[in-house]
């Protein structure tokens, strides 16, 4: 069964959420884990791509869309990924139907109304379906 982790931040901006995602991806990459970041759109994928390229601490090999992400330990996409293993970081809102193909699902919560609404709905669905959820309150 997919392990689920919720990281709850005190910040209320999407930027804080995205920057935490970059930090999480960096740590996962250093541990040798494959990561897929699910976003809502191509423009969000491009923005996350730029942050990963600009990361001051290390280079994180990554690719956007299915073709690039198959060859990289870190993928970014807004559709069903070709490589379904390792860690799924859901930045794309509603729970993608294929999330359970991953070993670990990560939700990053910020105190922004739309994010709160979506991540709470995802939590309820996961709880109802019997997934064990670990909460990391970083406020």
Task: State yes or no: pLDDT of 27 exceeds 80.
Answer: yes
Mean pLDDT score across all residues of the chain: 90
Residue 64 domain boundaries: 3-137
The predicted pLDDT at position 56 comes to: 67
User: Which of 137, 20, 32, 41 lies closest to 89 in space, CA to CA?
Assistant: 20
The predicted pLDDT at position 54 comes to: 79
The predicted pLDDT at position 60 comes to: 81
Domain with residue 72: its CATH number is 3.40.50.10110
User: Which of 56, 55, 93 lies closest to 74 in space, CA to CA?
Assistant: 55
Across residues 1-12, what is the average pLDDT? 97
Contact 90, 122 (CB under 8 A): yes
CA 37/CA 83 separation, integer angstroms: 11
User: Structurally, how many domains does the chain consist of?
Assistant: 1
The predicted pLDDT at position 126 comes to: 98
User: Which of 86, 124, 134 lies closest to 38 in space, CA to CA?
Assistant: 86
How do residues 42-75 score in pLDDT, each as one tens digit? 999 999 988 888 766 777 888 887 554 456 788 9
């Amino acid at each position: 069964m997919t392990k689920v982790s919720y990281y709850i931040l005190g910040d209320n901006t999407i930027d804080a959420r995205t920057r935490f995602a970059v930090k999480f991806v960096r740590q996962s990459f250093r541990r040798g884990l494959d990561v897929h970041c699910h976003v809502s759109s191509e423009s969000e994928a491009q923005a996350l791509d730029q942050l990963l390229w600009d990361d001051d601490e290390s280079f994180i090999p990554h690719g956007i869309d299915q073709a690039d992400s198959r060859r990289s330990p870190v993928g970014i996409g807004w559709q069903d990924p070709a490589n379904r293993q390792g860690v799924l970081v859901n930045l794309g809102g509603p729970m993608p139907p294929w999330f359970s193909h991953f070993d670990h699902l990560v939700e990053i919560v910020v105190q922004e109304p739309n994010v709160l609404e979506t991540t709470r709905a995802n939590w309820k669905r996961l709880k109802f379906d019997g997934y064990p959820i670990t909460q990391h309150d970083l406020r």
